[in-house]
Amino acid sequence: MGLKPDRWIKEMARKHRMIEPFVDQQVRDGAISYGVSSYGYDLRVSDEFKIFTNVRSAIVDPKHFASESFVDFRGDVCVIPPNSFVLSRSVEYFRIPRNVLTVCLGKSTYARCGLIVNVTPFEPEWEGYVTLEVSNTTPLPAKVYANEGLAQVLFFEADETCEQSYADKKGKYQGQTGVTPPRM
């Protein structure tokens, strides 16, 4: 990296428009923290949610996902039913450089409440809003707060660029703008 990790993230955000909007410091005042952290960036969850419901007794099939299994919700607080999950998206739009790969993990505040955040890696040259899956592993309803921190993105810079990037592959989730359910 050459630079200290937090300085590297700030430089990459400025140079490549890697994260927009970009918060160049950790914000905490009365919120679950977000912005630049020591070795990564804490992204925020938007106020757009797709709450999973099983009112139609559907089978979860990633090749033929039934869109009616979700209820759309927009608000400052989303309540996830017990033993269920929601999809949402990041507030931030990401543009990953060709020599960078990321891993995204849930914040400890939510993990300690039984909420697990699942996000796949952001591949080199992937861009878009991040679709976030938040699972409530508890037998009780659980809250997620919009426009506050949800997950931490860790950045890994390679010495060389990859032979084939996500953009080169024309990945099916490239440039996603909203909460994006499974695609085939």
Query: Which residues does the annotation mark as catalytic?
Result: 133
Distance, CA of 113 to CA of 135 (rounded, Å): 11
What's the token pair of residue 128?
Answer: 């878009």
Contact 35, 23 (CB under 8 A): yes
Q: How far apart, in Å, are the Cα atoms of 19 and each of 79, 87, 108, 117, 183?
A: 27, 20, 22, 20, 24
Contact 129, 135 (CB under 8 A): no
H/E element, 72: strand 70-74
Of the candidates 152, 107, 115, 150, the one whose C-alpha atom is nearest the C-alpha of residue 135 is 115
Vertex 7: Cα angle to 6 and 13 (nearest 5): 90
Output phi, psi for 122, to 5 deg: -90, 110
